[in-house]
Every structure is written in C-alpha cells, then in structure tokens.
Amino acid sequence: MERFSIKEAWLGVTLGDLTQSGAQAIVNAANPQLAGGGGVDGAIHQAAGPELLQACREIIQDIGELPAGEAVITPGFNLSAEWVIHTVGPIYRDGAQGERETLLRAYRNCLKTARDNGVATVDFPAISCGVYGYPLEEGAAVAAAALVEGLEMAWVREARLVLFKQRTFDVFLQAVKNRLEAGL
C-alpha cells in the first residue's frame, strides 16, 4: 500500500478486495435502486448477506431512488466494515453530460456521510470505472481531487482507494501523485 499524509489525515492507495477491508466504512458503487448488481456492488452484497439488501429496500421505500452523486449509509452486517456508504456514480456517455461534476459529488458526499456518522476510516472503489464506463485516467483524477480536498478539510482521518486490478491501481496511484505534486 502507498500512503500519503495530507495535513492531519492520510490517503492510501492499495491493490485489493474491498469486501476484505479493515476500514470502519466501505463505499459501494451502487445503482439508483440500491438493488444489488454486478461488480463491486455484487461482491459487497454477497459478503454482507441478505440483511444488506433489506436495509437498502427500506431506504428506497423512503426516498424512491438514490440520484447519481448522492450517498446513504447502512450497517455492514456480515462484513468486517461496520458501515456501507452507498453512492451512485454517473453513467459515462460523452463527458459532456456533467459526468465529472456528478462523480466529484459522489466522492464528496461519501466523505461527508462518513464525517456526519463519526466514521474515521473509509475505503473506496473506483466509482463508475467499471460497468458505468468512466474512462480510467479521468475517473482517477476526479477521485484524487475529491479525496485530497476532503482530507485537507479533515472530514475523515483516513481514506483509501482499494483497487481490484493492477492496471487500475497503477492509474489511480499516478493520479494521486499528480494531484499532490500539483498542490505543492
């Protein structure tokens, strides 16, 4: 794992499986129905057990659906993480549909949800960079910008990007380094 200090906080970038995370909260790249699915969403539901889907259903009964860029929190049930923060990234079309702003808001709202619930450590996947088709380099730059900003404001003590594939890890690590160098 690579770890960078940002004021009083830490930003980690690591290769791994989010369902094995030892963080207090993990972020799920969900769909607006919070209905479970493939990718990291499927893996999280599989590991958390059926109570997670039930908790998601109750939220959807209240709010209808979760708009892209927003976030909600549930318990982690059978996961070692205490909490799951569910967000919905943008579906990437051509980059001219506000995708970048929506992705930034998704990362930011997850960090704010963590802060508002007293969560000190939170692990993220590469939101939108799978089924939703966000170009990897651009998605990584957005993640780096949003996490560095939130950590500078000490919304959480530590955030980590947990990337499932070597190529994703390499691209996200470079994006974080670029962001930190740009900020010097």
- Binding residues for ligand AR6, per CB under 6 A? 17-19, 29-31, 37-41, 43, 89, 125-132, 162, 164-165, 168
Residue among 17, 41, 94, 170 flagged as catalytic: 41
Residue whose pair of structure tokens reads 């579906």 in the numeric block: 91
9 or 161: CB nearest ligand AR6: 161
Residue 67: CB minimum distance to ligand AR6, A: 14
Residue 86: CB minimum distance to ligand AR6, A: 10
Q: How far apart, in whole angstroms, are the C-alpha atoms of residue 113 and residue 135?
A: 26
Residue whose pair of structure tokens reads 């659906």 in the numeric block: 65
5 or 97: CB nearest ligand AR6: 97
Is 116 catalytic? The answer is no
- Among all residues, which ones are annotated catalytic? 41
